[in-house]
Amino acid sequence: MNDVPPETVLYEVRDRKAYLTLNRPERLNAINHRLARELPQAVERANEDPNVHVIVLQGAGRAFCSGYDLKEYAEAGVDTQGPVWDPIKDYRMMKRNTDDYFSLWRSLKPTIAKVHGHAVAGGSDIALSCDQVIMADDARIGYMPSRVWGCPTTAMWVYRLGAERAKRMLFTGDTIDGRQAADWGLVLESVPADELDAAVETLADRIAGVPINQLVMQKLMINQAYDNMGLQGTQVLATLFDGITRHSPEGRWFQGFAAEHGFHEAVKWRDSGRWIPEGGGPIPTKNDLEH
């Protein structure tokens, strides 16, 4: 009997294109430690393959990625420290995750995210780390943990949207569909769901016809402009803030809520727009949830 768990990131090469598939469909490809670690390994494998010119990242099943697996991190309290917490320990953990996602941005070869279903919370960090994002019209993208228990560590919202629209998204934790994301310039393009595969293949095939050295030089030049604008420093601040949000009084309230009632109820409360108690406060009772 084979007890080895399945790969969380599948790897396949066809026609000068590497296909990386997030592979936890039963959890809507929610992020756990293993998925975060396997992603950069797959990116590195594609970069080392002389037959690969472009990398396509997609999700198995009904979604691209639903964010961190809150059954582990919120409900079970994985990586949540005690009342006296070490911010640098937390920073090291989240910095590694951020670097894992940003392997897509730092990849020498171009990366394309193919988004269906949802790319939300940490899943939006992964999608927005790609060079190009193509979404289905009905797919949703957003960072709901900006309401409580999170700060987007890749900081790509502001670099893609500008200050005002990034604030619009992160002050509310709202999600938007593919059409609005494309209209705002957050993603490259939005297409009907049944045309998503074809749209991604058309772009990937066009890129795949360019010599690798040309692709690498164009990408390095463009990425350097973002580095000159302070991308790395912004990510340091965002990653530190992410740890603070999870250990603030409000963050501990949310994690306690998830531990008491399950992460589904905690997320339902967070995303509904209901009041999030400042300073924490008592965990809602079952009666509170019914009203």
**CATH (domain of 137):** 3.90.226.10
pLDDT, averaged across the chain: 96
Residue 186 lies in a domain: yes
d(CA 104, CA 44): 9
Residue 51 lies in a domain: yes
pLDDT digits (tens, 9 = 90+) for 129-177: 999 999 999 999 999 999 999 999 999 999 999 999 999 999 999 999 9
DSSP class of 61: T
Total number of domains in the chain: 1
Each residue's pLDDT tens digit in the chain (291 positions)?
455 567 999 999 999 999 999 999 999 999 999 999 999 999 999 999 999 999 999 999 999 999 999 999 999 999 999 989 999 999 999 999 999 999 999 999 999 999 999 999 999 999 999 999 999 999 999 999 999 999 999 999 999 999 999 999 999 999 999 999 999 999 999 999 999 999 999 999 999 999 999 999 999 999 999 999 999 999 999 999 999 999 999 999 999 999 999 999 999 999 999 999 999 999 999 888 887
User: DSSP per residue over 70-84, as a string?
Assistant: HIIIIIS-TT---SS
| Element holding 234 (H helix, E strand) | helix 231-247
- pLDDT computed for residue 1 by the predictor: 40
Residue 278 lies in a domain: no
- Domain around 34: 9-247
Residue 23 lies in a domain: yes
d(CA 189, CA 145): 25
Residue 166 lies in a domain: yes
Residue 234 lies in a domain: yes
pLDDT digits (tens, 9 = 90+) for 179-193: 999 999 999 999 999
User: What is this structure's pTM?
Assistant: 0.96
- 252 contacts 128 by C-beta, under 8 angstroms: no
